[in-house]
Amino acid sequence: MPLLIGMIIVLAAVLGGYVLSHGQLVALWQPFELLIIGGAALGAFIIANPAKVSLEALRNIPKLFSRSRYSKILYMELLAMLYDIFSVMRKEGLIAIEEHIEDPKSSSVFTKYPLLRKDQQSIEFICDYLRLMMIGDMTPYELENLIDIELETHHHDELAPGMAIGKVADALPGFGIVAAVLGIVITMQSLGGPPEEIGYHVAAALVGTFLGILLAYGFVGPISTAMEYRAHEKANFYGCIKACIMASLNGVPPQVAIEFGRKTLPHKVRPGFEELEARVRGR
């Protein structure tokens, strides 16, 4: 929703100011300029990025119009689920979690948390490191180093679509100039004709520059930034999991282990201590 509101404000401010200055909106309607700028930008985007990154970027854009899934409710579920897992480990031993991590879809622990059950990637992440803890051949330092390497790779992959869109934003003013130059070429071909025709072609050429700059700084650039923010939110989510797992591996009680994870969260999504305690105690 904020993305849509921001776009409306950009259009209202730019077009509203233009109309109030006695400009005619019809003069800005230059479909061929849009074809040149948009087509060139799309082609450059496809050339510059692997197909996987391009498709992921196009899939992520519609998601920006909805709320982020990384809310306080999701974090409450995450911490409560980790508390349940760590409690089983503490009471019954590491071997007791084998049945849960080998088949999470039928686990009595994982199935209690529907929001997390939909996120297969995070469930696999948790199960992989619980499995390594159960094997017991790695020191806490080695396991933490492995988690950091995976999280760094994961975060780089998550940032790639937003960075790809950002490169398009950087290129759009240049493509606007390309459209403007082509418009000037057409204008030069019209020299000697009626002044109105020359004026029309000059205006169309200038609109090309205008559209390139407006699209870059008013729409595509902010979309890139919004995608990067979503990637950072996902990184925070996995960082919370890491903090809890490392605390448990170092022998911290379950209630304190999830407190380690809670402390890594931004304030806007961090549940309160008593709020989380009530959740894990079933109150």
Q: Is residue 52 part of a domain?
A: yes
Q: Look at residue 114 and tell me whether its pLDDT is greater than 90.
A: no
Q: Look at residue 97 and tell me whether its pLDDT is greater than 90.
A: no
pTM: 0.86
User: In degrees, to the nearest 5, what angle opens at C-alpha 272 toward C-alphas 104 and 276?
Assistant: 35
Q: Is residue 20 part of a domain?
A: no
Residue range 67-96: average pLDDT?
Answer: 89
pLDDT tens per residue, range 13-38: 998 888 888 778 888 888 888 999 99
Q: Which two tokens mark 63? A: 């998601």
Could you tell me the residue range of the domain that residue 81 belongs to?
31-280
pLDDT tens per residue, range 45-79: 999 999 999 999 999 999 898 888 899 999 999 99
Q: Is residue 181 part of a domain?
A: yes
Residue range 247-269: average pLDDT?
Answer: 91
The sign of the CA dihedral 212, 214, 215, 220 is positive
Residue range 91-113: average pLDDT?
Answer: 83
In this structure, are residues 176 and 212 in contact, taking their beta carbons and an 8 Å threshold?
Answer: yes
Give the range among 132-136, 197-201, 270-274 with minimum mean pLDDT: 197-201
Q: Is residue 229 part of a domain?
A: yes
pLDDT tens per residue, range 216-236: 999 999 999 999 999 999 999
Q: Is residue 246 part of a domain?
A: yes
Mean pLDDT of the chain: 88
For tokens 């994870």, what's the residue?
Answer: 261
Q: Is residue 46 part of a domain?
A: yes
In this prediction, residue 216 carries a pLDDT of 94
Q: Look at residue 118 and tell me whether its pLDDT is greater than 90.
A: no
Candidates 201, 200, 197, 207; CA nearest to 184 is: 201
Alpha-carbon distances, residue 137 vs 2, 96, 253 (angstroms): 48, 18, 21
In this prediction, residue 201 carries a pLDDT of 76
Q: Which residues of 23-50 are buried (b: 16+ CB within 10 A; e: fewer)?
A: eeeeebebeebeebbeebbeebbeeebe
Burial of 190 (0-12, 13-18, 19+ CB in 10 A): middle
Q: Look at residue 11 and tell me whether its pLDDT is greater than 60.
A: yes
Number of structural domains found in the chain: 1
Q: Is residue 14 part of a domain?
A: no
The confidence band for 197, taking pLDDT boundaries of 50, 70 and 90, is confident
